[in-house]
């Protein structure tokens, strides 16, 4: 975070009141803007969305979408709206898997999708905790944290080392060779996020024991 450039305010259309002591609510700084979340699941999904290279902007609790349910007009507010670099609008509903059936969210989303304009650049997605494993949560949280404060000098040095990888290499060995210590590990995670390195076993937690390999570079994410 650049403290000379304070984060911009949230773009949310509403801020629901606290209803229970068991809720988990707060905010994260994404692309130097305040983004609120209403549950730990939403926070993890926010991290994952922010780390996607095609993400240009994330708006939480965007303006509600009006749809028709029989003869009744209803409104639905999604948890996130993701605007991609090529202008697509992706509406994301986040719901614990155990509550999907009871909430009838699939029916609501089905009605909304059926009423979208033809050839629209809008898509609708439901994300639940059943869509990813604990390792995915761990990796997304770790990567988001490391990407908040990048170090260009460290990243360039580690990228030079990574470019010499033949086959695969253990992260601990790359860190030791770099002489950067823990900061080298952070750089490697950022290189994975930016597509310059790839985990050999992507379904596992990224640790010092993980194996990585070279990968084609893609446009970096912006957290």
Which DSSP string corresponds to 95-143? Answer: --GGGHHHHTHHHHHHHHHHTSPTT-SEEEEEE-GGGS-HHHHHHHHHH
Strands (E), the chain: 26-30, 33-37, 55-60, 65-69, 72-76, 80-84, 89-94, 122-127, 169-170, 197-199, 211-214
Tell me which of 49-63, 135-149, 208-222 is least confident.
Answer: 208-222
pLDDT for 222 equals: 52
pLDDT for 84 equals: 97
Mean pLDDT of the chain: 91
Mean pLDDT, to the nearest integer, of 71-85?
Answer: 97
Instruction: Write down the pTM of the prediction.
Output: 0.87
Mean pLDDT, to the nearest integer, of 53-61?
Answer: 95
Token digits of residue 40: 């730990």
Does 96 score more than 80 pLDDT? Answer: yes
pLDDT for 2 equals: 53
pLDDT digits over 126-141, tens only?
A: 999 999 999 999 999 9
The DSSP letter of residue 14 is: -
Residues 198 and 215 sit within 8 Å (Cβ to Cβ): yes
pLDDT digits over 15-54, tens only?
A: 765 555 556 788 999 989 999 999 999 999 999 999 999 9
Ordered by where they begin, the domains of the chain are 26-131 (3.40.1350.10), 150-214 (1.10.10)
pLDDT for 23 equals: 62
Does 150 score more than 80 pLDDT? Answer: yes
pLDDT for 118 equals: 87
- Collapsed DSSP state (helix, strand, coil) of residue 30: strand
Binned at pLDDT 50, 70 and 90, residue 218 comes out as very low
Closest CA to 161 of 184, 139, 182, 181: 184
Binned at pLDDT 50, 70 and 90, residue 219 comes out as very low
Mean pLDDT, to the nearest integer, of 101-124?
Answer: 95
pLDDT digits over 166-216, tens only?
A: 999 999 999 999 999 999 999 999 999 999 999 999 899 999 999 999 986
Q: Whole-angstrom Cα distance, residue 180 to residue 155?
A: 10
Mean pLDDT, to the nearest integer, of 145-167?
Answer: 94
Token digits of residue 21: 């002591």
């Amino acid at each position: 975070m650049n403290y000379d450039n304070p984060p911009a305010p949230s773009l949310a259309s509403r801020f629901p009141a606290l209803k229970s002591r068991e809720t988990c609510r707060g905010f994260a700084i994404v692309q130097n803007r305040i983004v609120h979340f209403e549950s730990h699941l939403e926070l993890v999904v926010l991290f994952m969305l922010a780390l996607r290279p095609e993400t240009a902007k994330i708006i939480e609790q965007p303006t509600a979408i009006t749809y028709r349910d029989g003869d009744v007009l209803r409104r639905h507010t999604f948890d996130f709206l993701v605007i991609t670099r090529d202008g697509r609008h992706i509406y994301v509903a986040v719901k614990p898997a155990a509550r999907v059936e009871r909430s009838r969210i699939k029916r609501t989303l089905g009605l909304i999708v059926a009423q979208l304009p033809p050839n629209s650049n809008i898509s609708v997605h439901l994300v639940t905790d059943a869509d990813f494993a604990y390792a995915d949560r761990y990796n997304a949280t770790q990567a988001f944290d490391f990407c908040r404060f990048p170090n260009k000098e460290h990243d360039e040095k580690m990228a030079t080392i990574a470019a010499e990888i033949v086959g695969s290499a253990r992260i601990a060995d790359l860190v030791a060779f770099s002489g950067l210590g823990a900061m080298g590990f952070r750089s490697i995670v950022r290189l994975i996020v930016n597509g310059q390195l790839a985990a050999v076993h992507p379904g596992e937690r990224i640790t010092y024991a993980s194996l990585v390999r070279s990968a084609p570079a893609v446009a970096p994410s912006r957290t």
